[in-house]
Amino acid sequence: MSQRHDTAVVATIAGVAVDTRHWIGGRRVASPATFPDTSPIDGSPLTEVARGGAHEAAAAVTAAQAAFPSWSATSREERARILHAIADGVENRIEELAAVETADNGALLRSHRRGVMPRVAHNFRFFADWLLSLAHEDFETRGHTNRISWDPAGVCALITPWNAPLMLATWKVAPALAAGNTVVLKPAEWSPLTASLLADIAAEAGLPSGVLNVVQGYGEEVGSALVSDPRVARISFTGSVPTARHIAGAAAANLVPVSLELGGKSPLLVFADSDLDLAVELAVEQYDNAGQVCLAGTRLLVESSVAEEFTQRFIVKAAALQQGDPRDEATDIGPNIHPDHFARIDGFVQRALATGARAVIGGGPNTELGGLYYRPTLLTDVAPDTEIVTEEVFGPVLTLQTFDTDEEAVALANGTRFGLAATVVTGDSERARRITEQLVAGTVWVNCFFVRDLQAPFGGARQSGIGREGGTWSFDFYCDVKNTVTAPKGWQHHG
């Protein structure tokens, strides 16, 4: 996989210059080894990227540590100003960021342009503004004043996944920086490029050297070294459960607070009293990003009396989805990320089919398109408690199960080891209240999907994660929350 590659460091991706070295202490740093980055669109090689290890992780933490005293002492207003300048830089480069991200991870160009990259800028603006209004009312204890403050914690190690690379990276980077911390970001090796552009944008926006560092490479190498570094004060990770166990182990060894946002196997419940067109629309939306969305409601749980009608309407709607090159405006579903992942998705589907499941649509790779294009798939007749209904597939694969009573619906919905999200479609607000109260999930949507406000707590129950980020919850995590108790003037202390 690796090769000596000491020269080519700036690649041109979709017409955009991307430096593929690390960004440490305000300088580009090469590694003796590199790893290849290929495009999921057509499997073409994009570039070689610096392959960091323990040495680069340590250097980045050293740089972040050196930058911490000054950045943490920088006023809130100045930090907020710089974060807004980063947002400006993102907005100025939306087209470039969108083009590079699509080349790198294969998600739709139109989503990157219109939804994702504006949201990346918003991540910075939101946490900059939230910082300025962050406050807890003082309160008194026998005349003593309690004052709550959010103190910067130190160096944050941020490990991010490939399904929404810059979006998920900045959802951590922005609050960590706003809080007055310094950061080492390790993007996923299957989509490493936009993190490098972010480093350029942050530097141009005036973020001081060493406040944001980016190291590239494999999780088991540079990632593992980074999260094990005892100088790291916070670890925030979005990714898979097995990797989370390694990271939580490293955090435990150093007793470092860790935030884990993991996968899901979220239910989408359709009750007979629902607007079926809405239910179908929401269900088909679960194929977004070729199913590579942790929040996706991949288990359709439909009340028996409307299951046939729902399925027929679903088939019609899903058949209208265009699969193809994610750079085409008309495309709805692009490729999956990587051959290894593609094989994993197909493995789940073929094993389910072999044990009696029926593919109402899809059921295998899109052989016309070839490459990493997997046909949107809906599986019925799935055996309860088999892997297709309990494990996260992370591809365009949905299952459909039926229920007859509210109790059954809730039992099915809560019947996995995950608890990230749930969607409830019903025309009865009383039922919605009853059902949502019983669901185990970090986020529940009623008659909608993917409405995400940055001030809302975000995270998962059970094995979908530990902790919550968003709004004040992000500052609670990225800061040392302090209570300062001051005696009133003239107070006589009687021990």
By beta-carbon proximity to ligand ADP, the closer residue of 38 and 240 is 240
The two beta strands, 33-38 and 45-50, are antiparallel
By beta-carbon proximity to ligand ADP, the closer residue of 185 and 211 is 185
By beta-carbon proximity to ligand ADP, the closer residue of 162 and 445 is 162
CB of 372 to ligand ADP, least distance (A): 15
The two beta strands, 232-238 and 258-261, are parallel
- Residue nearest ligand ADP (C-beta atom): 219
- Kindly list the distances between the CA atom of residue 5 and the CA atoms of 21, 51, 225, in Å, as whole numbers in the listed order: 11, 10, 22
Q: Which of 294, 303, 392, 479 is catalytic?
A: 294
Q: Which chain residues interact with ligand ADP by CB under 6 A?
A: 159-161, 186, 188-189, 218-220, 223-224, 227, 239-240, 243, 246-247
**Cβ 208 vs Cβ 173: under 8 Å:** no
| 136: its two tokens | 């807890």
CB of 240 to ligand ADP, least distance (A): 4
Would you call 448 a catalytic residue per the annotation? Answer: no
Sign of the Cα torsion 469, 471, 475, 476 reads negative
By beta-carbon proximity to ligand ADP, the closer residue of 223 and 395 is 223
CB of 466 to ligand ADP, least distance (A): 14
Contacts with 480 (C-beta within 8 Å, 6 or more apart), sequence order: 150, 151, 152, 153
DSSP for 168-181 reads HHHHHHHHHHHTT-
Residue with tokens 């580009």: 28
By beta-carbon proximity to ligand ADP, the closer residue of 239 and 363 is 239
Dihedral of CA atoms 363, 366, 371, 376 in degrees, nearest 10, equals -60
Using CB atoms within 10 Å of the CB of residue 25, give its burial: 0 to 12 exposed, 13 to 18 middle, 19+ buried: middle
Contacts for 325-328: CB closer than 8 Å, 24+ residues apart: 325/41, 326/41, 326/102, 326/106, 326/107, 326/108, 326/109, 327/41, 327/102, 327/109, 328/109
By beta-carbon proximity to ligand ADP, the closer residue of 225 and 270 is 225
DSSP for 2-20 reads -EE--S--EEEETTEEEE-
CB of 52 to ligand ADP, least distance (A): 11
Alpha-carbon distance of 292 to 289, in angstroms, equals 5
Q: Which of 101, 189, 221, 261 is catalytic?
A: 261
Alpha-carbon distance of 376 to 299, in angstroms, equals 14
Radius of gyration of the chain (CA): 24
CB of 186 to ligand ADP, least distance (A): 6
CB of 463 to ligand ADP, least distance (A): 13
- What is residue 112's DSSP assignment? I
By beta-carbon proximity to ligand ADP, the closer residue of 180 and 223 is 223
CB of 161 to ligand ADP, least distance (A): 4
Residues with a catalytic annotation lie at: 261, 294
